[in-house]
Amino acid sequence: MKFPVLFQIAVFISCLIILAPAGFAEDMNSSISSAFNDLGIKKANKGDPEGAIKEFSKALEYDPNNVAAYMNRGMARAGKKDVSRALVDFNRAVELDPKNGQAYLVRANFRKWRKDYDGAIADYNKALEFNPTNDQAYNNRGNARRMKGNDDGALGDFSKAIEINPKNLAAYRNRSLLRKKKGDFEGALADEKKVNELREEMLTRQNRSK
């Protein structure tokens, strides 16, 4: 007996699904999760934090181990002043991937924003343990140390950030203010000059891209 072609195709497809590798569903869920995470980023960039949070939450439904989605949802929640749930997301990201320097950096920035300077410094230390060339982490740890009254430690961090990235405008500006406070007016003036130069470069690039 001959079966219709469509029936044969249907049987063939069903066999493919049955014989699919064990990790197929997991890979599919991971891909869908990444897609929702990307949608969340787009909505966040468009100024729609509520929509972004929904997309990041969908991403986590498909993949509860999506560290990026936890970090992104945490940042969106922080932007809405939903502090407690934002911290839960940041903590979960660190728990899932304790060797992810970016996860520590994101939580450190949140803690600094909340004026938890000790917690922020501890997280910046971990971020730098896994990525010792992260100039942003040095600059931000310098700010946290400055707020704790550790001017020498802060100065060292700003200088290290500049050593790693000579175009880190924020680090020059922060070091300039601290040098002025410590009476190093010549050094402060040199840093201010560099800030102005970098701003001019940025404006030139922006004008060229128009």
User: Is residue 155 domain-shared with residue 81, that is, in the same domain?
Assistant: no
Residues 93 and 121 occupy one common structural domain: no
Among 40, 64, 97, the domain boundary falls at 97
Res 160: pLDDT? 98
Is the same domain home to 120 and 194?
yes
Q: Is 182 a domain residue?
A: yes
In a structure prediction context, what are the per-residue pLDDT tens digits for the chain, which is 210 residues long?
A: 444 444 343 333 333 333 445 555 578 899 999 999 999 999 999 999 999 999 999 999 999 999 999 999 999 999 999 999 999 999 999 999 999 999 999 999 999 999 999 999 999 999 999 999 999 999 999 999 999 999 999 999 999 999 999 999 999 999 999 999 999 999 999 999 999 999 999 998 888 876
* Within a domain: 24: no
Task: Tell me: do 80 and 37 sit in the same domain.
Answer: yes
User: Residue 124 is part of which domain span?
Assistant: 115-199
**Is the residue at 13 inside a domain?**
no
* pLDDT, position 205: 86
**What pLDDT is attached to residue 188?**
97
Looking at the structure, do residues 127 and 182 belong to the same domain, yes or no?
yes
Instruction: List, as one string, the DSSP characters of the chain.
Output: -PPPHHHHHHHHHHHHHHTS-TTHHHHHHHHHHHHHHHHHHHHHHTT-HHHHHHHHHHHHHH-TT-HHHHHHHHHHHHHTT-HHHHHHHHHHHHHH-TT-HHHHHHHHHHHHHTT-HHHHHHHHHHHHHH-TT-HHHHHHHHHHHHHTT-HHHHHHHHHHHHHH-TT-HHHHHHHHHHHHHTT-HHHHHHHHHHHHHHHHHHHHHHHHH-
pLDDT confidence of residue 23: 56
Give a yes or no: residue 210 inside a domain.
no
Which CATH number characterizes residue 128's domain?
1.25.40.10
Domain boundary among 65, 97, 129: 97
Tell me the two tokens of residue 54: 């929904």
Q: How many domains does the chain have?
A: 2
The answer on 195 and 119 residing in a single domain is: yes
